[in-house]
Amino acid sequence: MHFLDRLAAIAIPVKPGRARVEIRQTLCVSSAKLTDVLEYALAGKMSLLRKEGRQRGLRRFLVHTHDLRRLFPEISPGFYTVEEAAQYAGMSESSVRAATRNGLLRFAQCPKHRGRRMFSEKELVSFCRRYVSSNQLAEAYSVTPRRISRDLSSSAAWICGLCRFGLWRRGRATALLDAKYRGLGPQDVAKSKAGMSGAVTHVQ
């Protein structure tokens, strides 16, 4: 029996209701590769759905999203999606994407999530030590994000192309703002950074 005929023989017609996805796109919602889905479906470990109509090949077949996420969890320990990375760093998703485009934050290779863009915790920790957002600085210095942006524009904390996303070099930004708002000199910067680490933290 032809392989597609074997799939058609075990597939059931699609019914309205539960969320589903084509078996060619399972990596979009889980860690399952196409071969994983086919193996589980043929072994009877998950339901295979069949679309009626003129669809041919693998495009005819779908699986329930719930089954995919149950059998192939989307997130691996120590790895974060863009949304989770934004929460971790205390920044917006657009800021995280901008940092990635500019090479400040690198995607990691996650064996269980090939094809997915994810970040390792090690990379996020390193990123948070080097960079800080306007919102975080505004909270730490009790001013508005707009004022932070105004005070740091054209300064040594400036990062080309990322100011509109509110991203700054952490060390230089805190040194400048300490001098401006707290009247601290260079000898006091180290002490200020210790306090800043408690005020500007990531969200897990």
Question: How far apart (Å, rounded) are the C-alpha atoms in residues 186 and 192?
Answer: 10
How far from the centroid of its chain's Cα atoms is residue 101's Cα? Answer: 13
Q: What is the pLDDT of residue 105?
A: 93
Is domain 79-199 in CATH 3.30.1490, yes or no? no
Over the stretch 4-58, which tens digit does the pLDDT of each residue have?
Answer: 888 888 888 887 767 788 888 777 667 778 888 899 989 988 889 888 776 678 8
Q: What is the pLDDT of residue 99?
A: 93
pLDDT beneath 50, residues of the chain: 185-186, 188-190, 192-194, 197-204
Q: What is the pLDDT of residue 76?
A: 64
Q: What is the pLDDT of residue 152?
A: 93
Q: What is the pLDDT of residue 81?
A: 80
Q: Residue 149: CA atoms inside 13 Å, Cβ hemisphere, count?
A: 12
Q: What is the pLDDT of residue 116?
A: 64
Closest listed residue to residue 137, CA positions, set 162, 102, 104, 172: 172
Question: How far apart (Å, rounded) are the C-alpha atoms in residues 195 and 202?
Answer: 15
State the Rg of the chain over Cα: 24
Q: What is the pLDDT of residue 68?
A: 84
Domain boundaries, the chain: 3-71, 79-199
